Chain A
Amino acid sequence: LNEILSVGLILMAALIAGHAAQLIRVPEVTGYLLVGLLIGPTALDLISHDNLEALGFLSEVALGLILFSIGSIFEASQFRRLGRGVVRITLFETSCSFVLVAIGVWAAGQPVAVALLLGVVAMETAPATTLMVLHEYDAEGPLTDRLLALLAMNNVFVLVSFGVVSAALTLVLGAEAAPFALGYRAAYGLAWTTVGSVALGILLGLFMDLWAGRARESGEAMILAIGVILVAVGAARWLGLSPLISTLALGALVANASHHGRVLLEATGKADPPLYAAFFVLAGAELQLGSLAGLGMAGGLYVVMRTVGKLGGARLGMSGQKLPPAVRRNLGLCLISSSSLAVGLTIQIRSSFPEFAAAVTGIVLAAVLIFEIAGPLLARQALLRAGEARTSPQPLEPLPDVKASA
């Protein structure tokens, strides 16, 4: 199929899947992912590997938009209210997953380096999937607030930890080269992806704020917002920075420095439903059913330990904090999903540590398949139990207009 047809097909499939999902009371995201799995290369092959590669940029753009909106969580007054508690929970859930997974994988006979790399990958919680579920059920309340902040913190944590672990491994494994040059390169890489990405986000955010004052209509605001987000993603890739951190920083800056933040967020909100639908269908198409066969002992332990680490870590992090019981009981369940960032990290591992790539990739792909399907279902359950989901999803606002004009 050519790319345009495949995008069309993806959106149609998403449309059907979304409705079917509502019918059987599972989150829309799950529907999108499953339909993606169905039409993807593992099953019907309507969307081929080549299509996936060509459409990869759509996923990056969608992820940029998603992280921009997550970034606005860092609005100062909001963050002051939730911040310390959330940082604590993030610390606990990430480090518990890291430690348990690393030990489990190591105990299953994998080399220490593989165990450490998998530990870092296990720390990640999928921002997009989780956010999508929150949105679909129009969730609101203390659990939702914390979850949003957690997602943002989690991803920054994961990227920094990945930088630290890969720097350490490079140093230890590359013993034969000059340690100073290696150390400098490793430390530079870490500093550049974090500090540099934040600087890029801030710079673009200030420009966005400046121009937003001049935007007269919502169309203009939409062009501005999406344009700047695309520039942030693209420039970050060009400069070797992290698109993820740049767009997070962009969102955070706009929330903290601009009075037009809300307008800009709403503007992007109008543009993104088809992008998100395509994002998840594509994510589903990239899942590999066959990978489950290669899960093995280490993979099984990875899945179990990560689940235990996430649930237990969140519990530990919340202990001693004054929290409603609904939050305490359900927050961990919302952290299970794992997706694009995990896969992105394995791609980086493939280029930095080719000797461990086979072991890491096999396990991560299988685990992502499991977590990506289970995550949204668990999150939905958690939201319902916490009473933060208004179960009847609101129809999309522009829909009546479309009908009227048709």
Chain B
Amino acid sequence: MLSPRDSGAEPVAGEPTPKLIRGTKAKLRLAAASLLTLALGGLASPPPGPQAPPSEKIAPMLEAAVERAEPSRFYRAVQTAGRSALDYSVAFDAPEPVGPLTQGDFEVPMPGEPKPEAFGVLLSEREVLTVVTALNGRTETTARLSDGSATGARVLAYEPATGLVLLQLVPPTKLAPAPVAGASVSAGALSVASARSHSTDIVVPAFVGAAGGRHYTVAVADGLLPPGMPIYDLQSEVFALVSEESSRAYPVREALERLRTLASAGNGMPRTIGLCLQTVTPELTELVGEGGVLISDVLEGSPAAEAGLRAGDLLIRVAGASTLTPEAASKAIASLQTGEAAPLTVLRSGKESDFQVRPVETLVSHACSTRAEPLDAMRAAELFSALRLPAASVSRDASVLSVDGAEMSARLLASLRRSPSKSRLVHVQSAGRRLFAVIGRKD
């Protein structure tokens, strides 16, 4: 029906036109070439991106791997490698968060309970690689080295995406730094987690569950790896450092390169003003306006909160640069100078207004997802069922903080019930993160 015409060169019936590909041989060759292409393509396919095995599978995988490697010989190797790696260990007390962006209540440790600790690894006479947990918002700390000495350490560079921190020891130490493994380690490799803690030496076999890509998945047979725990191969060369999430470890060699680059470029310390941002989706446009990004949360005590910014404001400019995406806004904020007031322009109730904000340097990571769950808030599921609305884009377990700017209350709910299908802007909190969403629109 939709056959295209060969206008002009209509073939004469019974006398087929010569074809480009003629004869069985040519066709066979073509078929072989195609098969070969597909086969080669299949073989050359890159390994799938980093995908961690589910955590419940790791312990049996570790046991199986140990069994394959002859248990006694393996444990001997682990002990030897782990013991000599203890010399490179660095430990930190990991106190509760302090500083301008902290939230939540203080936790009072029970007497006799071991103090929370974080670890790191000595990589040169003045450099230590660790995770941000070791600092908890401060830019300086005290590092305990393997010989028991304590020395000052200050942040050279911090990488928010991984939570890794490069510290500078002041004064430098005379201890020998850990050798860094040259090649990356493959999945299934046996390795050892080793560090000198307050009370004991930790030397445990660790298992690399998945490798390749940007991080390793590592696990020990029972329990969790503490943050910043260095992972060594059986030659006592360090290859990975456990992140804040205990099953994920980042390759040390690459991390060191990235952090050194950051430090030498003068971008070691990220600047923040305490805003959490959200893209304005087409549904949100009608209710919050357009031309900017939505401020989904303002952290208490942060420079932004002090300046008077509020969740629900539409951030349209940072120091004169327009901010259409959260990325653009974060970039503009990151380029502000520490302590110098910069104007932020927001749209609030349809009116533009300027706020002067002074950025601070901070190491509190993931601050946007660390809100304590409100105790007596209404769940989104309850709101949906009260208004007889289909579950919208909001998670059903989310807590509803406000609707159209008004705090949730019985009176508000009654008035919402009167016109349930009107579209409304709800401010919700889910998994520690606050967001805006639209409910009630019927399509």
* A residues lining the B interface (CB < 8 Å): 41-42, 65-66, 69-70, 72-73, 75-78, 81, 109-111, 131-132, 135, 140-141, 144-145, 148, 176-178, 181, 184-185, 188, 191-192, 195-196, 198-200, 202-203, 206, 209-210, 239, 253, 256-259, 262, 265-266, 268-270, 272-273, 276, 290-291, 293-294, 296, 355-356, 358-359, 361-362
Contacts and interface: CB of A to CB of B under 8 A. Distances in A.
Nearest to B47: A181
A77 B17 contact: yes
A70 B213 contact: no
B46 A185 contact: yes
Contact of A266 (B3, B20, B279, B443): B3
A155 to B, nearest CB: 15
B417 interface: no
Given A78-B9, A109-B324, A72 B3 contact: yes
Nearest to A80: B20
Chain B contact residues, majority secondary structure: loop
A358 B30 contact: no
Contacts of A290: 443
Contacts, number: 138
B4 A141 contact: no
28 contacts: A66-B2, A72-B3, A81-B9, A109-B324, A111-B328, A132-B2, A140-B7, A176-B214, A177-B213, A178-B254, A184-B46, A195-B37, A199-B33, A203-B35, A206-B31, A239-B42, A256-B20, A257-B22, A257-B30, A258-B19, A266-B3, A268-B1, A293-B282, A294-B285, A296-B290, A355-B279, A355-B325, A358-B281
B34 A203 contact: yes
B4 A148 contact: yes
A202 B258 CA distance: 46
Contact of B27 (A110, A206, A293): A206
B322 interface: yes
Nearest to B28: A206
Contact of B44 (A188, A266, A269): A188
B182 interface: no
A140 B285 CA distance: 47
B161 to A, nearest CB: 6
Chain A contact residues, majority secondary structure: helix
Interface size class of B (residues with CB under 8 A): 35 or more
Interface in B355-369: none
B37 A81 contact: no
A209 B27 contact: yes
Contacts of A210: 27
Contact of A109 (B22, B322, B326): B322
Given A42-B443, A296-B290, A111 B324 contact: yes
Contacts of B2: 65-66, 69, 131-132, 135, 269, 272, 276
User: Which of A72, A272, A358 has the largest number of chain B CB atoms within 10 A?
Assistant: A358
Contact of A257 (B19, B37, B327): B19
Contacts of A256: 19-21
A371 B20 CA distance: 37
B49 to A, nearest CB: 8
A343 B327 CA distance: 25
B57 to A, nearest CB: 25
A141 B4 CA distance: 11
B45 interface: yes
B45 A270 contact: no
B7 A294 contact: no
Contacts of A291: 282
Interface in B3-35: 3-9, 16-17, 19-22, 27, 30-31, 33-35
A81 B8 contact: yes
A203 B41 CA distance: 15
B286 interface: yes
Given A72-B4, A111-B327, A181 B254 contact: no
